Structure 1
Amino acid sequence: MTAIAPARAASARALPHRLPPLRAPFAGALASALLAMPFAAQAAVTLLQPPRVVDGTQPLTVTLLVVGDAETRRFEVPATLAVTASADMTAPIRVEARRVGSGPAVLQLKNGETRTIRYTAPWPDALRGQVRLDVAGIDAAPVLVSLNRAPVAGAASGAATPGAAALPPNGTAPEVPPAGAAPETAVVTVPPEAGPAPADLRDAQRLSFNEPMYIMFGGHDGANAKFQLSFKFRIFEGKDPNSKAVLDNLYFGYTQFSLWDLSGESRPFRDTNYRPSLYYYLSDTGVRNNVISRLSVATGFEHESNGLGGDSSRGINTLFVTPTMYFGDQTDWHWRVAPKLYAYVGKSDNEDIAHYRGYMDLNIAYGKPDSWEVTATLRKGTRKGYGSVNAALTYPLARIVPGTAG
C-alpha cells in the first residue's frame, strides 16, 4: 500500500454498487482511512550535509530533505528525532532534537516536490573534534562534522541559515509551503572534496598512524622477519579543532621495531627496540608559497631502548624537531621531505652512538596517496664512512586485497 492510484479510488467509490447496503459505510470508512494514511516508510528522505566545521556555541542542527517520487504522496513529519552523536574514542551520546517551527504535521507531496524540515538540540558537553551524527528511524546516511566550540569571528556555523535555498537531488527548487503554514527552513549544503586525502591528513582521528607499519620476510642465515608497529594518540582535544596551542596538539607516540628469527628454536626475537615519545604535532602550520604546498611540524622528547637490563641494556634519550615539507599537489604525485633533527640528552651505555647515526634522519619520498611511493631515510654518522640508508617501495594494500588497510 505505497500509493492510492485514481483507479483504486474510483474502485473504492464503486464499492457501494457491489456490496450490500449494510457494508457500504464500512467500505467508505476503509477507503477514507487508506487515503489518510501517511506513508513515511516509503518517503525519499535525506539528511542534508551541514558545513564541514560547525559552531559548537550554536545548537546541534540536523535538516531532513523529503522528496516526493512516483510512490510517495504523503509524509508524516515527526515532532522529534533521536540523534546519536559520537566522537573519536568516546561512547555514543543520544540526544532528542525537536522540530523548528510549527509546519504541517503531514506533508502532501507531488512527484518531484521537495520539503526541508529542521531539528535542533543542545550539543552534549563531552563532544570534541570530529563528530558523527546518525538519525534513528530515518533511512538516511549519517553526516560527519568538525565541532568548533571556540569559533573565530565570521566563521561558518552549523546552524541553518533562514531563507537559504537547499539544492535537492532532482535539481528543482524547494516547494513553497502552503498558505498559512509556517515555512520550512533550508540549509546550504557543502559538497565533499574530491580526490584522495593527503597522507598526513589521515591523522585527524585521535588514534592514528605515526611512522610506517610493516612486516618483511627474508632468508639471511635461515628464515627471518622484521616488523614495525607505530601509532600516536592525541592526549587532549580542545574546543577549537584549528587550535595551535601546545596542550591541544600534544601526542603520545609509540613505535616498536623487532627482528624475528623464524628458523631458530622457539622462534626467538633477536632484537627489539621500543620508542615511546611525547611531542607537539601540528599537521598544517598554514605555511604555503609557490614552492611548499604544505608544512607540518613535530617536536618533543623521545626515549629509545632495547628493554633489557644489566650489561645488555642499551638506551638513548633525545629532543627532536621534524618539519615535514610537501612539494606539489598532495592528491597527485608529489615530493615529501622530512628532516628529523635531534640532540642527545642521555646515552646509557651508548656514548659513541653519534658516530653511527649522527644528529639527523633525512626522509625523502615521492609518490601518490593511492598509488606507488618510493621513500628513503638517510643517516650519516660523525665518523667517515659511518651511516645507513633505509629505502622502501610501497603500494596501497587495499588496492591489491580489498577490505584491508595499510
Structure 2
Amino acid sequence: MKPLLLTALILSSSQLMANETADVEPEPALEERLQDELETFENPFVITPHKPNYILLANYNSNLPEGIYDKYGDLQDTEIKFQLSLKIPVWVSESKSVPSVLVAYSQVSHWQAYNSDESSPFRETNYEPEVIFAWRPDYDLGAGWNIQWAQLGFNHQSNGRGGELSRSWNRIVAGVALEKDNLALAFVPWYRIQEDRENDDNHDITDYLGHGKIQAAYKWGDHTFALMSRNNLESGFSEGAVEGSWSFPLTKRVKGYVQFFTGYGSNLIEYNHYNTTAGIGIALTDWL
C-alpha cells in the first residue's frame, strides 16, 4: 500500500472516531453515579458507598457547648471529623415498579486528635444503620428534569451512650431525587417514631432537626458542589441548619474536600445547640 494512501486511511479513521465520540452525550451525573452503584452490587468484593466518605483533617468549631463535655476537661476547637458510609444490596430489582432492598450503615466521628492534654478523646460518634427500599423510576417530568431515584426506609440514629449523654431517635425516611444534566435535587422527608416520654433522651429533637431536608449537588468537571438545608422553612429560619461542601481532584482515587456547617444539630449530642464549623481534608467518595 502506498504511503500516501495509508496516511489518508489513518486520518479518515481518526476523524470518524472523533465524530462518533462527539456524537455521544455524557450521562447526567446522578444517572452515572447510580449506574456505577449497580456495577458494584454485582461484585462481591466491593462495598458500595452510601453517603460521602471523607476525613476532615482540621475541622474548626466556633462554639463547643459548655457543660456537656466537662468530664473530658478542656477541649480544643479544632479536631478531626470523619464519615464512613456504606451500603449492601440484599436484593436488586430489575423492574422500575419493584424496589431493591438495601442495608446501609453510616458513622460520623468527632475526634480530639490534637488534644494531647486530654488523651485525644472521641468526643462524639453517631451511628446510623438503615434499611432502604429503593426504586429507579426514571420518570420524565419535562423541561429536562427526570426522577431517577426514590426511597422508603427505616432509620435509627444514636450516639451509643447511656445516661444524660444518651441521644437517639428512630425515623421512617422517604425520599425522591431529581436530575437535570449535572444537577441533582433530593427531597428527603421523615417521620419520627414516637417513644415513651420517660425513655426519650431528646423529646424535642424535631424542633431543631425538623421533619426533612433538601439536598442539592452539582458536578462541574471533576469538581462536586453540594448544599443541604434542614428545618429552615419549617422553623422560620430560627432553628435550622445549612451545610455546604466542595470536592476537587487530587489523585485518581482521592479528592480534596472542604465542608462548612452552620446551625443546629451538627451532631446528636448538640442537636439543640447552635454552632458553625469549617473543615478541610480528603474524600474518597462524594454525592456525585
CA contact (8 A) 2:253 2:284 kept: no
What is the aligned partner in structure 1 of residue 206 from structure 2? Answer: 354
The 3 A distance-change label for structure 1 pair 400 and 389 is same
1:275 and 2:128 aligned: yes
CA contact (8 A) 1:398 1:405 kept: no
Pick from 321, 330, 343 the counterpart of residue 191 of structure 2.
343
Pick from 109, 117, 123 the counterpart of residue 258 of structure 1.
109
The amino acid that maps onto 1:230 is S
What is the aligned partner in structure 2 of residue 378 from structure 1? Answer: 229
TM-score normalised over the length of structure 2: 0.63
Task: Deviation per CA, 1:329-354: give whole Å up to 9, x if none.
Answer: xxxxx211101100000353111111
Report the Cα distance in structure 1 between the residues aligned to 2:164 and 2:253, rounded to whole angstroms: 46
Unaligned runs of 5+ in 2: 1-12, 14-23, 42-46, 62-75, 256-282
1:218 and 2:66 aligned: no
Mapping 1:3-402, distance limit 5 Å: 195=26, 198-204=32-38, 205-206=40-41, 207-216=47-56, 217-220=58-61, 221=76, 223-237=78-92, 241-242=94-95, 244-246=97-99, 249-264=100-115, 265-282=118-135, 284-291=136-143, 292-328=145-181, 334-346=182-194, 348-368=200-220, 370-380=221-231, 382-384=234-236, 385-399=238-252
Deviation at 1:398, TM superposition (A): 3.6
- Once the two structures are overlaid, the 10-residue window that deviates more, 310-319 or 380-389, is 380-389
Which is richer in strand? Answer: 2
The 3 A distance-change label for structure 1 pair 237 and 327 is closer
Unaligned runs of 5+ in 1: 1-170, 172-192, 329-333
Report the identity percentage.
Answer: 24
> What RMSD in Å do the two structures reach over aligned CA positions?
2.6
Alignment partner of 1:203: what SS?
A: helix
CA contact (8 A) 2:52 2:284 kept: no
Deviation at 1:286, TM superposition (A): 2.5
The amino acid that maps onto 1:357 is L
Alignment partner of 2:191: what SS?
A: strand
Which is richer in helix? Answer: 2
Report the Cα distance in structure 2 between the residues aligned to 1:346 and 1:397, rounded to whole angstroms: 45
Q: Which has the larger radius of gyration?
A: 1
Report the Cα distance in structure 1 between the residues aligned to 2:229 and 2:284, rounded to whole angstroms: 27
The amino acid that maps onto 1:293 is N
Task: Deviation per CA, 1:36-77: give whole Å up to 9, x if none.
Answer: xxxxxxxxxxxxxxxxxxxxxxxxxxxxxxxxxxxxxxxxxx
Task: Deviation per CA, 1:297-331: give whole Å up to 9, x if none.
Answer: 01110000001122221100000111000012xxx
| Greater relative contact order structure (CA < 8 Å, 6+ sep) | 2
The amino acid that maps onto 1:302 is N
Report the Cα distance in structure 2 between the residues aligned to 1:383 and 1:219, rounded to whole angstroms: 26
The amino acid that maps onto 2:91 is F
The amino acid that maps onto 1:256 is Q
The number of residues matched between the two structures is 203
The 3 A distance-change label for structure 1 pair 336 and 254 is same
TM-score normalised over the length of structure 1: 0.46
The 3 A distance-change label for structure 1 pair 323 and 383 is closer
Alignment partner of 1:350: what SS?
A: coil
Deviation at 1:383, TM superposition (A): 4.3
CA contact (8 A) 1:222 1:262 kept: no
Deviation at 1:376, TM superposition (A): 0.8
Deviation at 1:372, TM superposition (A): 1.4
Shift >4 Å, 4+ stretches: 193-197, 381-384, 399-402
